[in-house]
Amino acid sequence: MKIGVLALQGDFAEHITMLKCLNVTPVEVRLAKQLEGLSGLIIPGGESTTIGKLAVDFGLMEPLRTFGKSQAIWGTCAGAIFLSRDVRRHQPLLSIMDITVERNAFGRQVDSFEADLDIEPLKKATHTSTPYHAVFIRAPFIQSVSGKAKILSALPDGRIVAAQEGKLLATSFHPELTDDLRFHEYFISLAK
Ligand code: GLN
């Protein structure tokens, strides 16, 4: 199975390392033609305005939207912002997932934090029972989900940090910066 990682900006290399551990073939994606033959695509964390501007310049906006109609896409942090319908400011968005997102919602870089999350579908798909230790770096939170999008995980105060809409996945945290492979495993199960 081939899984692409959008490699315009951000921590795509870390996602590629995780995918290699799971015996799928990672493919760096910078051009539309590199989407051919992929079962899924990961959009990494980084800076969502930069990723969006580069995606426009590289002619990737429409090809990515078309790809997301049939294949799995997972956005982590900036990637989740890029997938969303609305961030209440002007920047290029794919707008293919029915979530609205608030950028930098937990504060600045120094306010980055980690938290244990109980994510039932993840535990079920990976046949495990331990909580998921999530890393948040200048993270967005998901303000609302609508339509077919569902909440996958929220913090104890109710702030939504993961959502799913069919084969589309958005997390405000960074599974690629841990050594827990379960989120990547979960995404691969969606892409199958
Ligand atoms: N703060 C970044 C943004 O708004 C996201 C940060 C991240 O991806 N870790 O795009």
Dihedral in degrees, nearest 10, Cα atoms 183, 138, 82, 74: 0
Q: What percent of the chain has pLDDT over 70?
A: 100
Among 14, 15, 77, 184, which one carries the catalytic annotation?
Answer: 77
- Gap from CA of 173 to ligand 1 centroid (Å): 10
For helices 48-57 and 61-70, what crossing angle results, to 10°? Answer: 100
Q: What is the pLDDT of residue 139?
A: 95
Q: Is 28 a catalytic residue?
A: no
Among 102, 174, 184, 185, which one carries the catalytic annotation?
Answer: 174
Residue range 116-138: mean pLDDT, rounded = 96
pTM over 0.95: yes
Residue range 128-145: mean pLDDT, rounded = 96
Q: What is the pLDDT of residue 83?
A: 98
Residue range 60-84: mean pLDDT, rounded = 98
List, chain by chain if needed, residues with CB within 6 Å of any ligand 1 atom: 45-48, 77-78, 81, 103-104, 137-138, 140
* Top mutation candidate among 6, 14, 48 for ligand 1, by most atoms within 8 Å of CB: 48
Q: Is 174 a catalytic residue?
A: yes
Q: Is 176 a catalytic residue?
A: yes
Q: What is the pLDDT of residue 184?
A: 98
Residue range 68-82: mean pLDDT, rounded = 98
- Gap from CA of 120 to ligand 1 centroid (Å): 26
As a whole number, the mean pLDDT across the chain is 97
pLDDT band at residue 100 under the 50/70/90 scheme: very high
Under 8 Å CB-to-CB from 8, ≥6 apart: which residues?
Answer: 30, 50, 51, 54, 55, 58, 60
Instruction: Give the ligand 1 atom nearest the CA of 76.
Output: 8
Dihedral in degrees, nearest 10, Cα atoms 55, 35, 86, 50: -30
- Gap from CA of 127 to ligand 1 centroid (Å): 31
Closest CA to 31 of 74, 61, 73: 61
Q: What is the pLDDT of residue 81?
A: 98
**26-30 CB contacts, 8 Å cutoff, 24+ apart:** 26/2, 27/2, 27/3, 28/4, 29/4, 29/5, 30/6, 30/58
Residue range 23-34: mean pLDDT, rounded = 97
